[in-house]
Protein backbone atom coordinates (compact mmCIF):
# COMPACT_ATOMS: atom_id res chain seq x y z
CA UNK A 1 0.00 0.00 0.00
CA UNK A 2 1.48 3.38 -1.03
CA UNK A 3 1.01 6.61 0.90
CA UNK A 4 -1.53 9.15 -0.33
CA UNK A 5 -1.20 12.88 0.31
CA UNK A 6 -4.20 15.17 -0.16
CA UNK A 7 -2.71 18.67 -0.31
CA UNK A 8 -3.90 22.27 -0.67
CA UNK A 9 -7.28 21.39 0.84
CA UNK A 10 -9.72 22.79 3.37
CA UNK A 11 -9.21 20.14 6.06
CA UNK A 12 -12.25 19.59 8.29
CA UNK A 13 -10.80 18.88 11.73
CA UNK A 14 -12.90 18.08 14.83
CA UNK A 15 -13.21 21.74 15.87
CA UNK A 16 -12.04 23.84 12.94
CA UNK A 17 -11.30 23.96 9.21
CA UNK A 18 -7.70 24.64 8.18
CA UNK A 19 -5.84 24.96 4.88
CA UNK A 20 -3.40 22.09 4.71
CA UNK A 21 -2.72 18.48 3.78
CA UNK A 22 -3.51 14.98 5.03
CA UNK A 23 -1.21 11.98 4.63
CA UNK A 24 -2.76 8.49 4.51
CA UNK A 25 -0.47 5.56 5.26
CA UNK A 26 -1.05 1.94 6.20
CA UNK A 27 -4.81 2.39 6.35
CA UNK A 28 -4.51 5.19 8.92
CA UNK A 29 -4.18 8.95 8.96
CA UNK A 30 -0.45 9.46 9.38
CA UNK A 31 -0.16 13.25 9.55
CA UNK A 32 -2.02 16.54 9.13
CA UNK A 33 -0.05 19.67 8.17
CA UNK A 34 -0.87 23.35 7.65
CA UNK A 35 -0.12 25.22 4.46
CA UNK A 36 -0.79 25.31 0.72
CA UNK A 37 2.32 23.49 -0.44
CA UNK A 38 1.75 20.64 -2.89
CA UNK A 39 4.52 17.99 -2.82
CA UNK A 40 5.37 16.35 -6.12
CA UNK A 41 3.72 13.07 -5.09
CA UNK A 42 0.55 14.67 -3.69
CA UNK A 43 -2.97 15.17 -5.04
CA UNK A 44 -3.64 18.91 -5.40
CA UNK A 45 -7.16 19.38 -4.03
CA UNK A 46 -7.34 23.00 -5.19
CA UNK A 47 -9.11 24.19 -2.06
CA UNK A 48 -11.69 21.42 -1.95
CA UNK A 49 -12.96 20.23 1.41
CA UNK A 50 -11.33 17.08 2.82
CA UNK A 51 -13.30 15.49 5.64
CA UNK A 52 -13.84 12.17 7.41
CA UNK A 53 -15.88 9.62 5.49
CA UNK A 54 -19.61 9.99 6.18
CA UNK A 55 -21.29 7.54 8.55
CA UNK A 56 -24.91 6.55 7.82
CA UNK A 57 -26.94 5.06 10.68
CA UNK A 58 -30.36 4.59 9.09
CA UNK A 59 -31.06 4.18 5.39
CA UNK A 60 -33.91 2.55 3.49
CA UNK A 61 -31.83 2.63 0.32
CA UNK A 62 -31.10 -1.11 0.15
CA UNK A 63 -34.81 -1.93 0.23
CA UNK A 64 -35.32 0.43 -2.73
CA UNK A 65 -32.71 -1.52 -4.71
CA UNK A 66 -34.26 -4.87 -3.73
CA UNK A 67 -37.72 -3.72 -4.86
CA UNK A 68 -37.24 -0.97 -7.44
CA UNK A 69 -40.96 -1.02 -8.25
CA UNK A 70 -44.00 -2.43 -6.45
CA UNK A 71 -44.09 -6.24 -6.78
CA UNK A 72 -40.70 -6.25 -8.59
CA UNK A 73 -38.14 -8.23 -6.59
CA UNK A 74 -34.55 -7.69 -7.72
CA UNK A 75 -31.77 -10.27 -7.11
CA UNK A 76 -30.33 -9.46 -3.70
CA UNK A 77 -26.65 -9.75 -4.56
CA UNK A 78 -26.98 -7.24 -7.40
CA UNK A 79 -29.07 -4.96 -5.20
CA UNK A 80 -26.49 -4.99 -2.38
CA UNK A 81 -23.58 -4.24 -4.72
CA UNK A 82 -25.51 -1.37 -6.36
CA UNK A 83 -26.50 0.01 -2.95
CA UNK A 84 -22.88 -0.15 -1.78
CA UNK A 85 -21.65 1.66 -4.90
CA UNK A 86 -24.31 4.37 -4.60
CA UNK A 87 -23.37 5.12 -1.00
CA UNK A 88 -19.67 5.32 -1.93
CA UNK A 89 -20.51 7.76 -4.72
CA UNK A 90 -21.99 10.25 -2.24
CA UNK A 91 -19.19 10.10 0.34
CA UNK A 92 -20.48 7.46 2.76
CA UNK A 93 -17.73 5.14 4.01
CA UNK A 94 -19.62 3.38 6.84
CA UNK A 95 -23.25 2.29 6.73
CA UNK A 96 -25.59 0.52 9.11
CA UNK A 97 -27.91 -1.22 6.64
CA UNK A 98 -31.46 -0.95 7.98
CA UNK A 99 -33.38 -4.25 7.79
CA UNK A 100 -36.85 -4.76 9.23
CA UNK A 101 -37.41 -7.65 11.63
CA UNK A 102 -41.01 -8.52 12.48
CA UNK A 103 -43.56 -9.50 9.82
CA UNK A 104 -47.32 -9.71 9.37
CA UNK A 105 -48.95 -12.58 7.52
CA UNK A 106 -52.57 -12.64 8.69
CA UNK A 107 -53.62 -9.20 7.40
CA UNK A 108 -54.05 -9.42 3.64
CA UNK A 109 -54.54 -5.64 3.38
CA UNK A 110 -51.12 -4.75 4.73
CA UNK A 111 -49.16 -7.93 5.20
CA UNK A 112 -45.44 -8.25 4.59
CA UNK A 113 -43.01 -11.13 4.89
CA UNK A 114 -39.67 -11.93 6.47
CA UNK A 115 -36.47 -11.03 4.64
CA UNK A 116 -33.86 -9.71 7.10
CA UNK A 117 -31.97 -12.89 7.96
CA UNK A 118 -31.44 -13.92 4.34
CA UNK A 119 -30.34 -10.44 3.23
CA UNK A 120 -28.05 -10.01 6.24
CA UNK A 121 -26.30 -13.27 5.38
CA UNK A 122 -25.78 -12.07 1.81
CA UNK A 123 -24.34 -8.73 2.98
CA UNK A 124 -21.95 -10.48 5.35
CA UNK A 125 -20.91 -12.95 2.64
CA UNK A 126 -20.14 -10.17 0.14
CA UNK A 127 -18.19 -8.34 2.82
CA UNK A 128 -16.14 -11.45 3.64
CA UNK A 129 -15.35 -11.89 -0.06
CA UNK A 130 -14.06 -8.33 -0.37
CA UNK A 131 -16.69 -7.30 -2.91
CA UNK A 132 -18.02 -4.23 -1.09
CA UNK A 133 -16.33 -0.84 -1.28
CA UNK A 134 -17.36 0.55 2.10
CA UNK A 135 -17.80 -0.72 5.67
CA UNK A 136 -21.15 -2.40 6.42
CA UNK A 137 -22.84 -3.08 9.75
CA UNK A 138 -26.45 -4.13 10.35
CA UNK A 139 -29.26 -2.05 11.81
CA UNK A 140 -32.24 -4.21 12.80
CA UNK A 141 -35.47 -2.23 12.79
CA UNK A 142 -37.53 -4.13 15.35
CA UNK A 143 -41.17 -3.65 14.37
CA UNK A 144 -43.07 -3.86 17.65
CA UNK A 145 -46.46 -4.01 15.94
CA UNK A 146 -45.86 -7.29 14.10
CA UNK A 147 -46.50 -11.01 14.47
CA UNK A 148 -43.04 -12.61 14.21
CA UNK A 149 -40.56 -10.30 15.93
CA UNK A 150 -39.45 -12.78 18.60
CA UNK A 151 -38.77 -15.56 16.08
CA UNK A 152 -36.95 -13.30 13.62
CA UNK A 153 -34.65 -11.68 16.19
CA UNK A 154 -33.69 -15.10 17.58
CA UNK A 155 -32.03 -15.85 14.21
CA UNK A 156 -29.33 -13.22 14.81
CA UNK A 157 -26.37 -13.28 17.20
CA UNK A 158 -23.22 -11.42 18.30
CA UNK A 159 -21.34 -12.66 15.22
CA UNK A 160 -23.64 -10.82 12.79
CA UNK A 161 -22.24 -7.25 13.07
CA UNK A 162 -25.56 -5.94 14.37
CA UNK A 163 -24.56 -2.46 15.49
CA UNK A 164 -28.00 -0.93 16.06
CA UNK A 165 -31.42 -2.20 17.11
CA UNK A 166 -34.17 0.41 16.81
CA UNK A 167 -37.56 0.17 18.50
CA UNK A 168 -40.01 0.80 15.66
CA UNK A 169 -43.68 1.15 16.51
CA UNK A 170 -45.87 2.09 13.56
CA UNK A 171 -49.17 1.41 15.30
CA UNK A 172 -51.72 3.81 13.76
CA UNK A 173 -52.69 6.78 15.88
CA UNK A 174 -49.36 7.45 17.63
CA UNK A 175 -45.74 8.49 17.04
CA UNK A 176 -45.04 9.12 13.34
CA UNK A 177 -48.64 8.53 12.34
CA UNK A 178 -50.56 10.05 15.23
CA UNK A 179 -52.37 12.01 12.49
CA UNK A 180 -54.40 9.27 10.78
CA UNK A 181 -55.00 11.46 7.74
CA UNK A 182 -51.24 11.40 7.05
CA UNK A 183 -51.22 7.60 7.49
CA UNK A 184 -54.20 7.30 5.14
CA UNK A 185 -52.36 9.32 2.50
CA UNK A 186 -49.19 7.22 2.90
CA UNK A 187 -50.74 3.74 3.04
CA UNK A 188 -53.41 4.25 0.41
CA UNK A 189 -50.91 5.86 -1.94
CA UNK A 190 -48.30 3.14 -1.46
CA UNK A 191 -50.56 0.08 -1.37
CA UNK A 192 -53.67 1.21 -3.19
CA UNK A 193 -56.08 0.34 -0.35
CA UNK A 194 -59.74 1.27 -0.42
CA UNK A 195 -61.26 3.32 2.43
CA UNK A 196 -62.72 0.15 3.94
CA UNK A 197 -59.44 -1.72 3.66
CA UNK A 198 -57.60 1.19 5.29
CA UNK A 199 -59.97 1.18 8.27
CA UNK A 200 -59.52 -2.60 8.59
CA UNK A 201 -55.76 -2.06 8.56
CA UNK A 202 -55.94 0.51 11.36
CA UNK A 203 -58.17 -1.69 13.54
CA UNK A 204 -56.09 -4.83 13.04
CA UNK A 205 -52.79 -3.05 13.76
CA UNK A 206 -54.12 -1.47 16.93
CA UNK A 207 -55.44 -4.84 18.15
CA UNK A 208 -52.10 -6.50 17.34
CA UNK A 209 -50.15 -3.89 19.31
CA UNK A 210 -52.42 -4.37 22.31
CA UNK A 211 -51.86 -8.13 22.19
CA UNK A 212 -48.07 -8.43 21.68
CA UNK A 213 -46.57 -4.97 21.98
CA UNK A 214 -45.18 -5.18 25.51
CA UNK A 215 -43.60 -8.59 24.87
CA UNK A 216 -42.03 -7.42 21.62
CA UNK A 217 -40.61 -4.26 23.15
CA UNK A 218 -39.00 -6.22 25.99
CA UNK A 219 -37.65 -8.78 23.52
CA UNK A 220 -36.05 -6.16 21.29
CA UNK A 221 -34.31 -4.50 24.24
CA UNK A 222 -32.99 -7.86 25.51
CA UNK A 223 -31.84 -8.98 22.06
CA UNK A 224 -29.93 -5.73 21.49
CA UNK A 225 -27.97 -6.50 24.65
CA UNK A 226 -27.33 -10.07 23.47
CA UNK A 227 -25.98 -8.86 20.14
CA UNK A 228 -23.85 -6.15 21.75
CA UNK A 229 -25.75 -3.54 19.73
CA UNK A 230 -26.61 0.06 20.51
CA UNK A 231 -30.32 0.70 21.11
CA UNK A 232 -32.24 3.48 19.33
CA UNK A 233 -35.78 4.74 19.70
CA UNK A 234 -37.90 5.82 16.76
CA UNK A 235 -40.42 8.64 16.40
CA UNK A 236 -40.58 9.62 20.06
CA UNK A 237 -43.42 12.13 20.36
CA UNK A 238 -43.89 12.84 24.07
CA UNK A 239 -41.65 13.34 27.09
CA UNK A 240 -43.12 10.16 28.60
CA UNK A 241 -41.98 8.14 25.58
CA UNK A 242 -38.49 9.60 25.97
CA UNK A 243 -38.48 8.60 29.64
CA UNK A 244 -39.27 5.03 28.57
CA UNK A 245 -36.45 5.20 26.02
CA UNK A 246 -34.05 6.26 28.76
CA UNK A 247 -35.11 3.32 30.94
CA UNK A 248 -34.46 0.96 28.03
CA UNK A 249 -30.94 2.35 27.61
CA UNK A 250 -31.48 4.14 24.28
CA UNK A 251 -28.34 5.88 22.95
CA UNK A 252 -29.96 8.00 20.26
CA UNK A 253 -33.45 8.95 19.10
CA UNK A 254 -34.32 8.59 15.44
CA UNK A 255 -36.57 11.33 14.12
CA UNK A 256 -38.40 12.63 17.24
CA UNK A 257 -41.63 14.12 15.95
CA UNK A 258 -41.99 17.14 18.26
CA UNK A 259 -39.85 19.85 19.85
CA UNK A 260 -40.95 18.58 23.27
CA UNK A 261 -39.61 15.09 22.53
CA UNK A 262 -36.31 16.43 21.20
CA UNK A 263 -35.88 18.68 24.25
CA UNK A 264 -36.65 15.73 26.54
CA UNK A 265 -33.99 13.68 24.73
CA UNK A 266 -31.43 16.40 25.31
CA UNK A 267 -32.36 16.55 29.00
CA UNK A 268 -31.92 12.76 29.29
CA UNK A 269 -28.58 12.69 27.47
CA UNK A 270 -30.04 10.95 24.39
CA UNK A 271 -28.64 12.16 21.07
CA UNK A 272 -31.18 13.46 18.53
CA UNK A 273 -31.05 12.25 14.92
CA UNK A 274 -33.09 13.85 12.15
CA UNK A 275 -33.51 13.12 8.46
CA UNK A 276 -31.38 15.01 5.97
CA UNK A 277 -34.30 15.06 3.46
CA UNK A 278 -36.39 16.84 6.12
CA UNK A 279 -33.73 19.56 6.36
CA UNK A 280 -33.30 19.93 2.61
CA UNK A 281 -37.05 19.93 1.85
CA UNK A 282 -37.77 22.35 4.66
CA UNK A 283 -40.01 20.01 6.63
CA UNK A 284 -41.21 16.48 7.34
CA UNK A 285 -43.19 14.57 4.73
CA UNK A 286 -45.30 13.22 7.64
CA UNK A 287 -46.15 16.66 9.02
CA UNK A 288 -43.86 16.33 12.05
CA UNK A 289 -41.28 18.79 13.41
CA UNK A 290 -38.86 20.34 10.91
CA UNK A 291 -35.18 19.45 11.28
CA UNK A 292 -34.27 23.10 10.68
CA UNK A 293 -36.35 24.13 13.70
CA UNK A 294 -34.47 21.67 15.91
CA UNK A 295 -31.15 22.87 14.49
CA UNK A 296 -32.11 26.44 15.34
CA UNK A 297 -32.93 25.37 18.91
CA UNK A 298 -29.63 23.48 19.27
CA UNK A 299 -31.52 20.17 19.51
CA UNK A 300 -29.96 18.35 16.55
CA UNK A 301 -26.91 16.07 16.90
CA UNK A 302 -26.92 13.55 14.01
CA UNK A 303 -28.20 13.48 10.44
CA UNK A 304 -29.35 10.42 8.49
CA UNK A 305 -29.97 10.23 4.76
CA UNK A 306 -33.09 8.14 5.47
CA UNK A 307 -34.43 7.53 1.94
CA UNK A 308 -32.09 9.77 -0.16
CA UNK A 309 -28.37 8.83 0.17
CA UNK A 310 -27.11 11.99 -1.52
CA UNK A 311 -28.93 14.15 1.03
CA UNK A 312 -26.45 13.33 3.81
CA UNK A 313 -23.56 15.39 2.47
CA UNK A 314 -25.71 18.27 1.26
CA UNK A 315 -27.55 18.57 4.57
CA UNK A 316 -24.32 18.56 6.58
CA UNK A 317 -22.99 21.40 4.43
CA UNK A 318 -26.28 23.25 4.93
CA UNK A 319 -25.93 22.90 8.69
CA UNK A 320 -22.36 24.15 8.51
CA UNK A 321 -23.59 27.25 6.69
CA UNK A 322 -26.61 27.66 9.01
CA UNK A 323 -24.52 27.43 12.17
CA UNK A 324 -21.61 29.38 10.74
CA UNK A 325 -19.39 26.47 11.74
CA UNK A 326 -18.55 23.94 9.03
CA UNK A 327 -16.70 21.61 11.42
CA UNK A 328 -19.83 21.36 13.55
CA UNK A 329 -22.06 20.73 10.54
CA UNK A 330 -19.82 17.95 9.22
CA UNK A 331 -19.63 16.38 12.69
CA UNK A 332 -23.36 15.53 12.45
CA UNK A 333 -22.51 12.98 9.74
CA UNK A 334 -19.08 11.88 10.98
CA UNK A 335 -18.01 12.23 14.63
CA UNK A 336 -21.50 12.24 16.16
CA UNK A 337 -22.79 9.02 14.52
CA UNK A 338 -19.44 7.33 15.22
CA UNK A 339 -19.65 8.22 18.90
CA UNK A 340 -23.32 7.20 19.13
CA UNK A 341 -22.47 3.69 17.91
CA UNK A 342 -19.15 3.21 19.66
CA UNK A 343 -16.95 3.41 16.56
CA UNK A 344 -13.93 5.03 18.16
CA UNK A 345 -11.62 4.42 15.19
CA UNK A 346 -13.35 6.71 12.69
CA UNK A 347 -15.32 9.94 12.28
CA UNK A 348 -12.39 12.32 12.95
CA UNK A 349 -9.41 13.50 10.94
CA UNK A 350 -6.73 12.94 13.56
CA UNK A 351 -3.43 11.05 13.34
CA UNK A 352 -3.95 7.36 14.06
CA UNK A 353 -7.60 7.29 13.01
CA UNK A 354 -8.88 4.98 10.30
CA UNK A 355 -8.15 6.55 6.89
CA UNK A 356 -11.77 6.88 5.72
CA UNK A 357 -11.64 10.21 3.89
CA UNK A 358 -13.73 12.07 1.34
CA UNK A 359 -12.78 14.99 -0.91
CA UNK A 360 -15.69 17.31 -1.70
CA UNK A 361 -16.08 20.27 -4.06
CA UNK A 362 -18.71 22.85 -3.11
CA UNK A 363 -21.35 23.27 -5.82
CA UNK A 364 -23.45 26.19 -4.64
CA UNK A 365 -25.04 25.08 -1.36
CA UNK A 366 -24.42 21.38 -2.14
CA UNK A 367 -21.30 19.30 -2.67
CA UNK A 368 -19.84 16.86 -5.19
CA UNK A 369 -17.59 13.97 -4.19
CA UNK A 370 -14.26 14.11 -6.04
CA UNK A 371 -12.51 11.27 -4.25
CA UNK A 372 -13.18 8.62 -1.62
CA UNK A 373 -10.71 6.53 0.41
CA UNK A 374 -11.61 3.64 2.73
CA UNK A 375 -8.78 2.52 5.00
CA UNK A 376 -6.45 4.45 2.74
CA UNK A 377 -7.55 2.68 -0.47
CA UNK A 378 -9.19 4.81 -3.13
CA UNK A 379 -12.66 3.42 -3.91
CA UNK A 380 -14.27 6.39 -5.62
- pLDDT > 80? residue 330: yes
Burial class (CB in 10 A: 0-12, 13-18, 19+), 22: buried
- Which ranges of the chain does DSSP label H, i.e. alpha helix? 61-66, 76-89, 116-128, 149-153, 180-191, 195-227, 239-248, 259-268, 276-281, 291-296, 311-323, 326-331, 335-340
Burial class (CB in 10 A: 0-12, 13-18, 19+), 360: buried
1-52+347-380, CATH topology level: Urease, subunit C; domain 1 (2.30.40)
> Could you tell me the pLDDT band of residue 165, with boundaries at 50, 70 and 90?
very high
What confidence tens digit (pLDDT) does each residue in 199-240 have?
676 777 777 787 778 899 999 999 999 999 999 999 999 999
Instruction: Please report the pLDDT score of residue 177 as a whole number.
Output: 63
Mapping DSSP onto H, E and C, the string for 143-175 reads ECCCCCHHHHHCCCCHHHCEEEEEEECCCCCCH
pTM: 0.91
- pLDDT > 60? residue 103: yes
Among 67-76, 96-105, 110-119, the range scoring the smallest mean pLDDT is 110-119
Rounded Cα–Cα distance for residues 331 and 174 (Å): 31
Homologous superfamily (CATH) for 54-345: Metal-dependent hydrolases (3.20.20.140)
What residue segments make up the domains of the chain, in order of their start? 1-52+347-380, 54-345
> Could you tell me the pLDDT band of residue 291, with boundaries at 50, 70 and 90?
very high
What are residue 140's DSSP bridge partners? 99, 165
> Could you tell me the pLDDT band of residue 28, with boundaries at 50, 70 and 90?
very high
Amino acid sequence: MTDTILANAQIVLPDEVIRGSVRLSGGRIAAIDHGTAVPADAIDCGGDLVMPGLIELHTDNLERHMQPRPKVNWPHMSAIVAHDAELASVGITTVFDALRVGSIFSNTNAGYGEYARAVASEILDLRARGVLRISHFLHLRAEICSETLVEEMAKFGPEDRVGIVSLMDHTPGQRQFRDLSKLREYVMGKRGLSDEAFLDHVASQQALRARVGDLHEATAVAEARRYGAVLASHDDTTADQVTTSKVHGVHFAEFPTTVDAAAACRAEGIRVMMGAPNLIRGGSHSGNVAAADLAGLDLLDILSSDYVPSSLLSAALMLGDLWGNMARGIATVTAAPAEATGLADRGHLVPGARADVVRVARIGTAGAVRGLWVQGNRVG
